[in-house]
């Protein structure tokens, strides 16, 4: 729902129905916070924040989000490398003895420190989930897209992913002032879900992006003086 919200608002705003767009966002906010899903609520909050900035200054918002996304992807290995030292300094305990989100961070730190050169080569596509299922990875690991990118694809895959995010934000920002702020918010929401959601499989991530792309195309076609794609194929139209 939080993925489809922003293109739906873009379609309404492009037709001048700003009141309905705001009502839709209010209803979505009530539902998101009512179900008590913290990751979904965080993604919704990020979308609202990005939308407010993008409406006021689209060009600056797109540039800042592009740089932030690149920095998160490229610098994400620093989190499991620094966290053990922070745990010793502040908690006077090992990171593995902590609870909650610190447990998978401890597993990621153990893997990175044991195999530092694998940060350059990676382990191969789909090895993170298969390694856990086969028992090759005993320690709990972060089941988020950021860890899978670095663990499976290494620094080359991480740099390519960062470049794709940079180009994606820039491309979405050039789609027009009427719908671009909403679609930038949608993409920021997508990335928040990918960066924070546990057990988000690769196919779920691809499906999420596909839904966003299709709905973004529908929102862009909803603008005045645009041509809607035909449901009939070229042979049928003849």
Q: Which of 187, 185, 193 is nearest to 164 (CA)?
A: 187
**Whole-number pLDDT of residue 44:** 93
Angstrom distances, CA of residue 42 to CA of 8, 108, 138, 139, 231: 19, 23, 30, 27, 36
Q: Which of 170, 208, 167 is nearest to 190 (CA)?
A: 208
Which range is most confident: 80-84, 92-96, 101-105?
80-84
Number of neighbours of residue 174 by Cβ within 10 angstroms: 11
Which range is most confident: 86-100, 158-172, 219-233?
158-172
**Whole-number pLDDT of residue 52:** 92
What value does the mean pLDDT take over residues 44-61? 92
Chain Cα centroid distance, residue 149:
13
What value does the mean pLDDT take over residues 108-125? 77
**Whole-number pLDDT of residue 61:** 93
pLDDT in tens, 150-160: 888 888 889 99
Q: Which of 218, 207, 216 is nearest to 183 (CA)?
A: 216
Burial of 119 (0-12, 13-18, 19+ CB in 10 A): middle
| Strand, helix or coil for residue 14 | helix
What value does the mean pLDDT take over residues 176-181? 83
**Whole-number pLDDT of residue 138:** 62
Does residue 238 have a pLDDT over 50? no
Nearest-angstrom CA–CA distance, 60 and 163:
18
Is pLDDT larger for residue 201 or for residue 58? 58
Does residue 79 have a pLDDT over 90? no
**Whole-number pLDDT of residue 201:** 63
Mean pLDDT score across all residues of the chain: 80
**Whole-number pLDDT of residue 65:** 93
pTM: predicted TM-score of the whole model, two decimal places: 0.79
What value does the mean pLDDT take over residues 2-30? 89
**Whole-number pLDDT of residue 112:** 76
Q: How confident is the model at residue 47 (pLDDT cuts 50, 70, 90)?
A: very high
**Whole-number pLDDT of residue 142:** 72
Output DSSP code: residue 153. Answer: I
Q: For residues 120-142, b (16+ Cβ closer than 10 Å) or e, as one string?
A: eebbeeebbbebbeeeebeeebb
């Amino acid at each position: 729902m939080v993925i489809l919200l922003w293109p739906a608002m873009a379609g309404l705003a492009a037709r001048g129905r700003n009141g309905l767009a705001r009502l839709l966002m209010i209803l979505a906010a009530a539902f998101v916070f009512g179900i008590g899903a913290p990751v979904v609520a965080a993604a919704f909050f990020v979308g609202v924040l990005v939308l407010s900035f993008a409406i006021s200054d689209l060009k600056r918002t797109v540039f800042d989000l592009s740089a932030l996304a690149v920095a998160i992807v490229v610098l994400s290995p620093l989190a499991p490398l620094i966290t053990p030292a922070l745990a010793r300094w502040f908690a006077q305990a090992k990171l593995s003895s902590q609870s909650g989100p610190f447990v998978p961070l401890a597993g990621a730190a153990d893997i990175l420190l044991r195999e530092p050169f694998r940060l350059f080569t990676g382990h191969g596509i789909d090895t993170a989930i298969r390694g856990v299922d086969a028992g090759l990875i005993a320690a709990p690991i972060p089941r988020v897209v950021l860890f899978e990118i670095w663990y499976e694809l290494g620094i080359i895959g991480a740099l390519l992913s960062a470049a794709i995010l940079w180009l994606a934000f820039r491309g979405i920002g050039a789609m027009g002032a009427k719908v671009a702020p909403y679609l930038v918010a949608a993409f920021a929401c997508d990335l928040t879900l990918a960066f924070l959601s546990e057990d988000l499989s690769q196919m779920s991530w691809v499906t999420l992006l596909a839904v966003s792309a299709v709905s973004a195309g529908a929102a862009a076609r909803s603008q005045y003086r645009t041509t809607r794609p035909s449901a009939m194929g070229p042979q049928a139209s003849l």
